[in-house]
Chains A and B, each alone.
Chain A
Amino acid sequence: MSRLSVRKTYKLYIGGAFPRSESGRSYPVTSAKGDFLANASRASRKDARDAVVAARKAFPGWSGATPYNRGQILYRVAEMLEGRRGQFAEELGGGKRAAAERVDATVDRLVWYAGWSDKIAAVHGAANPVAGPYFNLSSPEPTGVVAVVAPADPLLGLVSVVAPVIVTGNTCVVVASEPSPLAAITLAEVLATSDLPGGVVNILTGSQAELAPWLAAHMDVNGLDLTGVDDADLALRCEQAAAENLKRVLRPAPEDWTADPGLGRMTRFLETKTVWHPIGI
């Protein structure tokens, strides 16, 4: 007699915990061929707000951690992901080889960003030679809480937008790919076991059109990454809503997730702080 398997319940990831949507809603997730895979939580406005609260709460600790520490933790995420390559490849589905390559590229992307934690200030900061007896130094600092609408690419795309946001000290609320949210929740299991403080990454699954506008209009969100928004009208409405508290917005644009990421995704959600002090005796 064959063993009856134990299925996983896919929930949200908020403040380091895995709650169901407070709304009690879920939606069926299917494979590319249309086969039922699992039910995913369909997050509500309240869940989005709870996630922002969790992200805000985590911000002082995470932004105040040493860059070395943040780099270590991101590297740890890569290690944990490496250990689950098979599981992720299976979850991604499609061709086995192609899926394995995407997972490997994801691990490598995490390692790449992990290394930036204690280098971005060296390439994006400056000692400014002002015309007077003053010490003058510009350093990058994280913007705060960033809402991220993740692209359709369920794992490599997701990690490629989340890693640059958090490596510099921001915390985030992520709306996972609506049709393929399962890898995002499995990634949350990786994050939860990688010493990443709860609340640094919060992952919502559900309707992008429902969740993105709430996050875009939320007054305690400082940045908005619209990469995953395909609907031009939704992107426009989100960017307009973001103007209310002058969120830093990354507009949607076609991306090749296998290309060199560059610094742009990190610098978009960095502020520059310049400190002056007189020089004297």
Chain B
Amino acid sequence: MAIFEYAPAPESRDVVDIKPSYGLFINGEFADGSGTPFKTVNPATEEQLAEVATATSDDVDRAVQAARKAFGVWSALPGAERAKYLFRIARIIQERARELAVLESLDNGKPIRESRDVDVPLVAAHFFYYAGWADKLAYAGFGGARPLGVAGQVIPWNFPLLMLAWKIAPALACGNTVVLKPAETTPLTALAFADICRQADLPPGVVNIVTGAGETGAAVVGHPDVNKVAFTGSTEVGRTIARAVAGTDKKLTLELGGKAANIVFEDAAVDQAVEGIVNGIFFNQGHVCCAGSRLLVQESVHEEVLESLRRRLSTLRLGDPLDKNTDIGAINSAEQLAKIRSLSDLGESEGAQRWSPACELPDKGFWFPPTVFTGVAQSHSIARDEIFGPVLSVLTFRTPAEAVEKANNTPYGLSAGIWTEKGSRILWMADRLRAGVVWANTFNKFDPASPFGGYKESGYGREGGLHGLEAYLDV
């Protein structure tokens, strides 16, 4: 198949300077954690990148106190002044973009093409966007609204710095202060962000970063002096958090799992649809809550679409995340790889047909080839459970009504895709799909101006856009 070979085109690591160990960022200073430090590794090589402090509940308490103290100053600043800090942060992110992209790819395993062209530019854009809102809240219908206080934020490992931006930018714009816990497998860009806060002369305590695993997260969520909890992650943990904040005055927003249907009609532009399918499920190794993990193809074009999809998948390049030609990077952790393997094996044992392109996996690191299951029934685990990996389940339908029925037949409701050339059908489908984001003739597009979030068990509240402000104001 290979007409010509690609020469390796690795992005240089020299641009990042990873320290052997990192502390917590509390009240504008890096400090030791009281827990046992943990290691963060490069998932593409299993090489240790750094040792990172674990925050205990005492450390979290110090961070919350710092945030509480800073809240008085920060919330009293005129919106225009808060805005200028956020603009400053956005600019520094742009200036340090290459460093952040390389660091993200090293710690997360995602291709540099994505961290460089998607994650980091969106991070800067998010700060720019919410910076502009800080002094315009009254015009957005939030006149007289107050910030909530200290926001406790817990974010996942799939888009480490981008999820940080989604959480911190609107919180700060509205006048809140934050204690944020990054995921334990990807803490490095959050710690780099702490340094950016210092470069921007952000007042101490406005942003605090506490690293650690689930217990640290639970301490953030459960702290009595936290006024707002924002979480992105699994539906299972989301439920636990919703139970934990029950009966308190804490405001809660949750951005959880998904099992999105990507629906291809017979009149769709097949080549574009196939690009959309590939982007929908293989972007970021499928570590995307809104991934188009269920492909619903109209029966009449099933063969044609699948043939085209297999051909396209055979051209994807899997390997070194820092290589600029890499399409598919490493799975983020051994734990996640085990989960993807076990769900894929279950798919096979339940009777679906498994296919992957010929694809050599590196010896070291965590890798999983792009995988497509056909002959999938709605009752199969791989059609119901979120795999969070590069695994696509293909189902078919005959009528638009059947497509809607199948697409909505899930407890999730985060996103959906529609591929058809008929405008009225797009709008008819979009009306009926119970999902927070509907991509028509496109997929996995994100923008700070566009609200993102789910229906049903995909969580509640929106991030991005005007709607994203609501989560951080007492409205």
Contact B437 A245 (CB under 8 A): no
CB pair A128 B447 closer than 8 Å: yes
Supposing A134-B445, A274-B437 touch, asked if A243 and B451 sit within 8 A by C-beta, the answer is no
**Complex Cα spacing A239 to B249, Å:** 12
22 A-B residue pairs with CB within 8 Å: A123-B141, A126-B465, A128-B451, A130-B450, A132-B445, A134-B447, A136-B447, A138-B467, A143-B455, A239-B246, A240-B246, A242-B246, A243-B240, A244-B239, A246-B254, A246-B456, A249-B246, A273-B435, A274-B452, A275-B438, A276-B450, A277-B442
Q: How long is the Cα–Cα vector from A222 to B246 in the complex, in angstroms?
A: 16
- Are B426 and A128 neighbours in the complex by a CB distance under 8 Å? no
Please give, as numbers and ranges, the residues of chain A lying within 8 Å of B459 by CB-CB distance: 246
Least distance between B109 CB and chain A CB atoms (Å)? 27
Cβ of B170 under 8 Å from chain A = no
Residue among A126, A267, A272, A277 with the most chain B CB within 10 A? A272
Given A129-B449, A130-B450, are A232 and B247 neighbors across the interface (CB < 8 Å)?
yes
Q: Are B243 and A243 in contact (CB under 8 A)?
A: yes
Q: Are A138 and B465 in contact (CB under 8 A)?
A: yes
Decide yes or no whether B439 CB sits under 8 A from chain A: yes
* Beyond A243-B239, A274-B465, 7 additional pairs, beta carbon < 8 A: A138-B450, A236-B246, A273-B438, A274-B437, A275-B438, A276-B440, A276-B450
Secondary structure of the A contact surface, majority rule: mixed
Contact of A128 among B254, B411, B440, B465 (CB under 8 A): B465
Supposing A136-B447, A246-B459 touch, asked if A276 and B246 sit within 8 A by C-beta, the answer is no
Contacts of B430 in A (CB 8 A): 273, 275
In the complex, what's the smallest C-beta–C-beta distance from B463 to chain A, in angstroms?
11
A243 touches B242 (CB 8 A): yes
Q: Is the CB of A277 within 8 A of B235?
A: no
Q: Which of A224-281 contact B (CB under 8 A)?
A: 232, 235-236, 239-240, 242-246, 248-249, 264, 267, 271-278
Q: Which residues of B contact A239 (CB under 8 A)?
A: 246-247
| Contact partners of B243 in chain A: CB under 8 A | 240, 243
A61 CB → nearest B CB, Å: 13
**In the complex, which residue of chain A has the Cβ closest to the Cβ of B447?**
A130
Query: Smallest Cβ distance from B468 to chain A, in angstroms?
Result: 10
Q: Is the CB of B475 within 8 A of A264?
A: yes
Q: How large is the interface on A (under 10, 10 to 19, 20 to 34, 35 or more residues)?
A: 20 to 34
| Binary contact readout B438-475 vs A (1 if CB under 8 angstroms, 0 otherwise) | 11111001010111110111011010011100100001
Give the CA-CA distance A242 to B243 in the complex, in Å: 8
**Cα distance, A248 to B435, chains bound together (Å):** 15
The answer, among A246, A264, A267, for a CB contact under 8 Å with B457, is A246
Which residues of the partner chain A approach B141 to less than 8 Å between Cβ atoms? 123
Is B295's beta carbon under 8 Å from chain A? no
A6 at interface, CB cutoff 8 A: no
B111 CB within 8 Å of chain A: no
Whether A272 pairs with B440 at a CB distance below 8 angstroms is no
> Which residues does chain A contribute within 8 Å of B440, judged by CB atoms?
275-277
| Chain B residues whose C-beta falls within 8 Å of the C-beta of A272 in the assembled complex | 436, 451, 453, 462, 467
Look across to chain A and name the residue whose beta carbon is closest to the beta carbon of B430. A275
Q: B436, A274: Cβ atoms under 8 Å?
A: yes
Q: A132-B447, A134-B445, A138-B450 are in contact. Are A271 and B436 (CB under 8 A)?
A: yes
Q: Which residues of B contact A129 (CB under 8 A)?
A: 449
Contact status A246-B445, CB under 8 Å: no
CB-defined contacts of A32 to chain B, threshold 8 Å: none
For the complex, is B238 an interface residue (Cβ under 8 Å from A)? yes
Is the Cβ of B436 less than 8 Å from the Cβ of A273? yes
Q: Which residue of A lies closest to B243 (CB)?
A: A243
Distance between Cα atoms of A271 and B439 in the complex (Å): 17
The answer to whether B256 touches A246 (Cβ under 8 A) is: yes
Shortest distance in angstroms between B466's beta carbon and chain A's nearest beta carbon? 5
A271 to B457, CA, bound (A): 12
Chain B residues, CB < 8 A from A126: 451, 465-467
When distances are taken between beta carbons in the complex, the residues of chain B under 8 Å from A232 are 247
Which residues of B sit under 8 angstroms from A132, Cβ to Cβ?
Answer: 445, 447
Output the least CB separation between A215 and chain B (Å). Answer: 16
A248 to B455, CA, bound (A): 10
**For the complex, what is the distance from the CA of A206 to the CA of B417, rounded to whole Å?**
45
B183 at the interface (CB under 8 A from A): no
For B256, the chain A residues whose CB sits under 8 A away are 246
Assembly CA distance A272 to B426 (angstroms): 18
Answer yes or no: B100 CB below 8 A from chain A CBs: no
Asked if A131 is at the interface of the complex by the 8 Å CB criterion, the answer is yes
A136 adjacent to B450 (CB under 8 Å): yes
Contacts of B53 in A (CB 8 A): none
CA distance A229 to B459 in the complex (A): 24
Contact B460 A236 (CB under 8 A): no
5 tightest Cβ-Cβ pairs between the two chains A and B: A243-B242, A239-B246, A236-B247, A130-B447, A243-B243
Q: Please, which residues of chain B bring their CB within 8 A of the CB of A235?
A: 247
**Chain A residues, CB < 8 A from B240:** 243
Known: A243-B239, A271-B436. A138 touches B442 (CB 8 A): no
Whether the pair A246, B239 counts as a contact (CB closer than 8 A) is yes
Q: CB-CB contacts of B227-252 with A at 8 A, as 1s and 0s?
A: 00000000100111011001100000
Tell me, in angstroms, the Cα distance from A129 to B450 when the chains sit together.
Answer: 8
Closest to A264 in B: B475
CB <8 Å contact, B438 and A222: no
**B125 contacts the other chain (CB 8 A):** yes
Residue numbers in A under 8 Å from B456 (CB-CB): 222, 245-246
CB distance from B384 to the nearest CB of A (A): 15
Chain B nearest CB from A228 CB (Å) reads: 16
Least CB distance from B216 to A in Å reads 21
A222 contacts which chain B residues (CB < 8 A)?
456
Q: Report the separation of the CA atoms of residues A108 and B451 in the bound assembly, to the nearest whole angstrom.
A: 34
A238 and chain B: residue at smallest CB distance: B246
A236 and B426 alpha carbons, distance in the complex (Å): 42
Residue in A128, A236, A244, A267 whose beta carbon sits within 8 Å of that of B450 in the complex = A128
Given A274-B437, A276-B437, A278-B441, the answer on whether A246 and B247 have CB atoms closer than 8 Å is no
Would you call A128 and B455 a contact (CB within 8 A)? Answer: no
Nearest CB of chain B from residue A249's CB, rounded to whole Å: 8
Nearest chain-B residue to A131 (Cβ)?
B447
